[in-house]
Structure 1
Amino acid sequence: MARRAPTRPTIALGPIEEEGYLAGQLLIAMPSMEDPRFARTVICLCAHSAEGAMGIVLNKPLEGLSFDDLLGQLGLDPIPPQRRIRLVSGGPVEGGRGFVLHSADWETEGSLRVSDDVALTASVDILKAIAGGGGPKQGFLALGYAGWGPGQLESEIQQNAWLNVPADQALLFGEQPDQLWRQALGKLHVDPAALSGFAGRA
C-alpha cells in the first residue's frame, strides 16, 4: 500500500532547554543493534527531556515515493518543482507524518529549533517554499520518526545500544547516506570492527 503524507502534517513539541539531555546530537547505532529498524542507523535527536525523546533517522532513503509524488498527493504547486529535497524513512512511528529537518536559516510558525543551526518543521509551508525555489538552504523530508518513552533512551545508552556525537552540517545533510554510519563513527575516531568486540556489555 502506498504511503501517503497527511494533508496537514503537524508536530506538537516545545523547545527543549533542559541541561543534561541530548537534543541536537546524533545517535549512532552500535554494531550489536539487533532491531532491524535501527541497525546501522544514525539519528538526529530533535527533542529529549524527562518525558522522552524524538528523533529522525538520517540514513534510510525512502523507496517508492519521490518529492514530486509527495507534492502531487498534497496538492501543492508547482509540479515539477523549482527545487527538490531528498526523502528518507525517518523512523517506525507514524510513518504517514512528514517532517523536514533543515538548516535554521528558514523557519515558520511551529518550527522546532533543534540547535543553533538546525530546525524541524512539519508544516506544508516549508514544502511550498522549497517547491517554489526557496526555503532553507539545506534539508530533507522524513516520513515517520523514532520515539522513546521516559527513561527509555537513557536505558538503551547505558546498555551500549547507542553512541552519541555532536551533529554537524556535513553529517546531517550529506548526500551519501550509505556512508553516514561509518562517517559518524569516524568523527569519534572509532573503527566499527573495534566496537564489535565489546558491544552489548554494560
Structure 2
Amino acid sequence: MEGLIPWQVEVFTLSARVWRSTYNNNVPSKVGAEDGHDNLIVSFDLTSEEFGEVKLPDRLAYNKCRLCMFKPRESPVVIEGCVEDSKQVYHVWVMKDGVPKLFEKLFTISGHTPVGSLVSSVLGFRKTGESLVELQAHPCSIRTLVAYEPYSKTVITLGVSGRYIFVYSYTKTLLLL
C-alpha cells in the first residue's frame, strides 16, 4: 500500500469559526484494503472525534457492484446496484439491530417499473419508507422523480423532472447559541 496519502480530518468549530485538526487520529490504517475488502463504511463521531468501522457482510464487502448508503431512519441502508441477467437491479439492504455484518435484504427494485420506464437510480427514501427513484423512458430521455413502493410496486409521480435530479436529506435541528 505504498504511495497512499494518510487521511487528514478537520472539524469546523462554529463558535470559534475556525477549522482545526482532530485530537484523535485513529483513522483505520487500512481503509479500503482491510482484510482484502473492496467496500467498507467508516464513521466519525463529532463528539468523541473517533473513527469507527461498520463491517459489511461478505456479499457487500467484496462486491464489484455500485454501493450507496443512506440512513432513512435509525438504521443504515445500503443500495447494491448491479446487472443480473442483462437487467439493472437494485437490492436494498438494512443493518439489523445496529449489529455490523448483520444486514438483511429488504427488497429488490427491478430495472423496469410497471409503467414501462427504466429505473436509472435509487436516490433516497421518504419518511414512509418508499424509495425515491429516478425513472427514464429510455437512456437519453428526461428523468422523472417518483416514489416507489416496492411491495405493491406502486409508482407515485412527484412532479419533478429534468436532465439531472439530485435528492439530499434534510434534518431540522434546534441549536442553543
TM range (shorter): under 0.3
| TM-score, length of structure 2 as denominator length | 0.23
Structure number with the higher helix fraction is 1
Q: Which has the larger radius of gyration?
A: 2
| TM-score, length of structure 1 as denominator length | 0.21
Query: Of the two structures, which has the highest relative contact order with CA contacts closer than 8 Å and spacing of 6 or more?
Result: 1
